[in-house]
Structure 1
Amino acid sequence: MFKKIAILHISLPIDQVYDYLEKRYNSTLYADASEQTKGYMPKIEIREATKNSFLSFYVKGHDPFTGLSVGSWKWSYTLTQEAGGMTKLKIAYEYGLFMSFISGGTVGHQAANEICETALALDALSNAQLAQ
């Protein structure tokens, strides 16, 4: 297994971060964006959930040319409450050699993009809270 990991410190209480991460893949915006850019909505499964502490997800890989499921992605969020209402978030994406091979070596960059997109979304949520 290969991994991409980032540790972020977020200006939000742990329960808000957890709730967002737990529900983000069930949103209408996510479904619309997936349909418009991928042509399908991935079936993302929550594999493990410990309230305000840990979430892990799984989805089968999808070959857009054949429509077949190939390989898989696993990712997790580990949350820790920090002082001052901050949340420490460890994001880890895991993928195998097969996924790396069929992606032409770009799967690590895809995982990095997913991590950065999560950071941007949490930053926007944090900024919205500060604006209130």
Structure 2
Amino acid sequence: MKRALTVLLLSLPVLCPAQGRPNPPCDRWPTNIAENSLKDAGMLGNIDYTKTQAVQLSSEKIGKSEDGEQLWREVYHITFHEKGGKKIKVIAVNDAGEFECSMSAVEVFVVSNHLLPKVESDRMFKQIE
């Protein structure tokens, strides 16, 4: 009985796949728009592009566009590293279609401070950092 329950529990992720976009994430679109927005606001200088990170936090179906294409709302945590060592962190939110990443404007939220939990071993926070 225990064995059957274990097999059932282990097979649940296979039976209930996540609802992401069918194509790879569109991390370059919100990253480029966030970079331009930060530069226009005078908040970002000389970037070290090799250290720029974009982590997708969320992707959720939100309906269909006017031409019937499925739309997803995507949320990214983006970290820019300046060559001087300064880090600028933003949250970028935009809508993406099945074949087009730029289905809406990108909203950029500057993260001024990130309060880490007392338990520093939390995987989610380490992945974002």
Q: Same fold (TM over 0.5)?
A: no
Q: Which has the higher contact order (CA 8 A, sep 6+)?
A: 1
| Rg larger for | 2
